[in-house]
Amino acid sequence: MESVQNFTEAEFYEATFDSRAYIDTFYSHPGGHEGENYLLFVLQQLSGTFCSGKYKGQRLVEVGSAASIHCVISACAHFDQIIMSDFAESNRQELSRWLRKEPGCFDWGPVIRQVGQMESGRNPVQVEDLLRARVKSVVKCDVRLENPFHPSTLEPADCVITSLCLEAACKDLPSYRASLGNVTSVLRPGGALVITGALGETFYIVAGQRFSCLHLTSDDVKKALEDLQFSIVEFNILKWDSEQVNHVSDFDAMFYCVAVKSI
What are the residues binding ligand SAM (CB under 6 A)? 10, 13, 17, 64-66, 68, 86-88, 91, 141-144, 163-165, 168-169
Closest to ligand SAM by CB, 10 vs 258, is: 10
Closest to ligand SAM by CB, 170 vs 259, is: 170
Closest to ligand SAM by CB, 30 vs 64, is: 64
> Cis bond leading into 151, ω under 30°?
yes
| Positive/negative CA dihedral, 100, 64, 48, 205 | positive
Contact 9, 17 (CB under 8 A): no
Closest to ligand SAM by CB, 44 vs 65, is: 65
Cβ 216 to ligand SAM shortest distance, Å: 13
Cβ 260 to ligand SAM shortest distance, Å: 21
Bridging pattern class, strands 209-212 and 203-206: antiparallel
Closest to ligand SAM by CB, 39 vs 118, is: 39
The Cα-based distances of 24 to 21, 32, 68, 229 in angstroms read: 5, 11, 10, 37
**What are the two backbone dihedrals, phi and then psi, of residue 75, each rounded to the nearest 5 degrees?**
-70, -25
What region, left, alpha or beta, does residue 127 occupy, with left being phi > 0 and alpha being psi -120 to 50 degrees? Answer: alpha
Cβ 215 to ligand SAM shortest distance, Å: 15
Cβ 163 to ligand SAM shortest distance, Å: 3
Cβ 187 to ligand SAM shortest distance, Å: 16
Closest to ligand SAM by CB, 147 vs 190, is: 147
Cβ 124 to ligand SAM shortest distance, Å: 20
Q: How many angstroms separate the CA atoms of 57 and 186, rounded?
A: 14
Burial (CB count <10 Å: 0-12, 13-18, 19+), residue 27: buried
Closest to ligand SAM by CB, 21 vs 125, is: 21
Q: How many angstroms separate the CA atoms of 57 and 251, rounded?
A: 34
Q: How many angstroms separate the CA atoms of 35 and 40, rounded?
A: 11
Cβ 122 to ligand SAM shortest distance, Å: 21
Q: How many angstroms separate the CA atoms of 57 and 87, rounded?
A: 26
Nearest CA among 131, 194, 134 for reference residue 158: 194
